[in-house]
Amino acid sequence: MVCGKGNNGGDGMVIARHLHNRGAYVEVFLLSEVDALSADARTQHEILRRMDVEVRVIRDTEGVEDLRTYLEEVHLCVDAIIGTGLSSPLSGIVREVVEVINLSMAPVYAVDIPTGIDATTGRIMGEAIRAESTGTFGLLKLGHVLLPGSIHCGETEIHDIGIPQRAVFDAQIKTEALDEQVVKSMLSVRPPAFHKGDAGRVHIVGGSPGMTGAPCLAGSAALRMGAGLITVVTPESLRPIVEAKQMEVMTHGIPDEGKGYFTPAMIPALMEVISKADVIVVGPGLGMTDTMPAFVKELISRIKVPFLLDADALNALSGEADTLQRATSPCILTPHPGEMARLTKETIESIEAARIDSARHLAEEERVTVILKGARTVVATPKGDIFINTTGNPYMASGGMGDALTGMIAALASQGLSPNDAACAGVFLHGLSADLLVRDHPMTPVTATDVIGNIPGALQQLLGEPPPEE
C-alpha cells in the first residue's frame, strides 16, 4: 500500500488492515510523517500500529529506492496516494514515487482515482498512475470517464457505500455517463402488431457531385437501426447515382437544372416531399456553394418535425449559430470539433479544452440537442444536462462515420424516442458496434459500412434475448 497523508491514504490503510486480517502479507509505504496525516488517516495508522503491520515512511530518494526494490516482489500495489482532491501537478517525492510505480511490473489498484488524474477533467497533472483497475465510491467522477483519465483508471468498479438513492436524485446531478444500463432503459421491445408505419419515415436531404455516398450511408444506417421507410432526397441530376447505390432505401429527385446542388429556389418542391417525414436529416454530402447558407437557413425555419443538422448543413451556419433559434421543431446538431469551432466562432483548441462546457453552452443558448463528436462524445440537452458516451475506439477514424451516426439517430427518433434519448442511444450503439468489431479483430480499422452492418450485433449485445411474450 502506497498511502498519502489525506483521506485517500486512510482508505489505503483500511484496505491494508482487511487484507492483513485475511492472511495477506501487507506492507505500507507512507508519503507523510505521521503528525501530518489527516485525522481519519491518523486513526487508521494507529490501528495498523497496534496490529503490528509495518509502515515505512518515504522521506527521500533512499525511501523511493526501497519502494522500487519492494515492488519487484509484490503481487499487487495499491495506489492510495492522492484521490479526488488533487489541485496541482505532482512534484517532488510524490512524482518520483508515481514514476517508480509505473515502471514496476506490479499490477496497480487505484483507490477512488489514480494519483495524478484531475477528477473533474480527466487531465494528467504532470504524471499519473497507470492502474489495471480502480475502485471508486458512490458514483463515477468525470475523471473516470473523460480521456486520458479513463485510460489510466483501467477497469473501474463502483462500490456502494450506502448513499441513499433519494439523496442522489435530490442532488439533481446534470452529468451522466452513458452505459448499457442507461441506454437500455431508453429502448423498448416492439409489440407483435408493429409495422413499418410505426417505425417512422426518415427523409435525408443531401448529396452533391462527388459526395453521393454520404446520404446513402445515412440511409443504410437508418434502415439497419429500424426506421420503417427511408427516402434520400437529392438533386434530380444525382438521383440515378443515388438510386444505383440503394436497395431498400427510396430516392426522390428535386429538379435542379443539372447543377447537382440544392439551391433556395428548390425549397418549395423540397418541402412538398419532406412534409411526409417523421424525422428529417439535412447535411450529408450537401456540399458548399454560395447559396447553401440561405438554403439551410430557410429550411430550418420551415421544417415542422424533429430534424438533424450534420456536416455541410452545420458549415452553412458558420458563425451564425443564432440562426438555430428560428427553428420551430426539435433540432439535433452533430458537429465534430472543427464544425463546432466554425459554428461558434471559437478555435478547435478551445473547444477540445472544454468539451462539456462548449456543448452545454450551445445547447442551452440555441435550445437544441448538441452531439459533440470525438473521443468520449458529449451529448448536451437544451436544459443543460450532459451525457458522456463510453463506447467507441480510435479504429473508427475514417470517412462516413458521422453519416452512419446521423442515420442511426434519425431512425431512433422516427421510432418515438425523444431527441435527447435518440442522440444518447445512437452515439452509444454507434460506438458499441465498432467496439465489438475491434474486439473480434484487434487493431483492425473499421469502416462506416462495417459499423452499419454490425448494428444488429450491437443491439443484441445491449438488449440480449427479448423477454417472452405474456
Q: Which three cell numbers stand for residue 41?
A: 488517516
pLDDT for the residue numbered 99 = 98
How far is the C-alpha of 53 from the C-alpha of 30, rounded, in Å?
Answer: 12
CATH homologous superfamily of domain 2-171?
Answer: YjeF N-terminal domain (3.40.50.10260)
Sign of the C-alpha dihedral computed for residues 86, 88, 92 and 97 taken in this order: positive
Sequence-distant (6+) residues with CB within 8 A of 379 are 178, 359, 369, 370, 371, 372, 386, 387, 388, 389, 420, 423, 424, 427
Q: At what angle do helices 213-224 and 455-463 cross, to 10 degrees?
A: 30
pLDDT for the residue numbered 41 = 97
**CATH code of domain 183-463:** 3.40.1190.20
Q: Which three cell numbers stand for residue 227?
A: 426506421
Q: Helix, strand, or coil here: 251?
A: strand
pTM here is 0.92
pLDDT tens digits, one per residue of 273-326: 999 999 999 999 999 999 999 999 999 999 999 999 999 999 999 999 999 999
Which residue ranges of the chain lie beneath pLDDT 70? 465-470
- Do the domains spanning 2-171 and 183-463 agree at the CATH topology level? no
Sign of the C-alpha dihedral computed for residues 455, 457, 462 and 464 taken in this order: positive
Q: What Cα–Cα distance (Å) separates residue 458 from each residue in 436, 437, 447, 452?
A: 7, 10, 15, 10
- Domain extents for the chain? 2-171, 183-463
Q: What Cα–Cα distance (Å) separates residue 438 from each residue in 180, 388, 420, 426, 434?
A: 18, 21, 28, 19, 6
CA nearest to 283, candidates 250, 254, 319, 312: 312
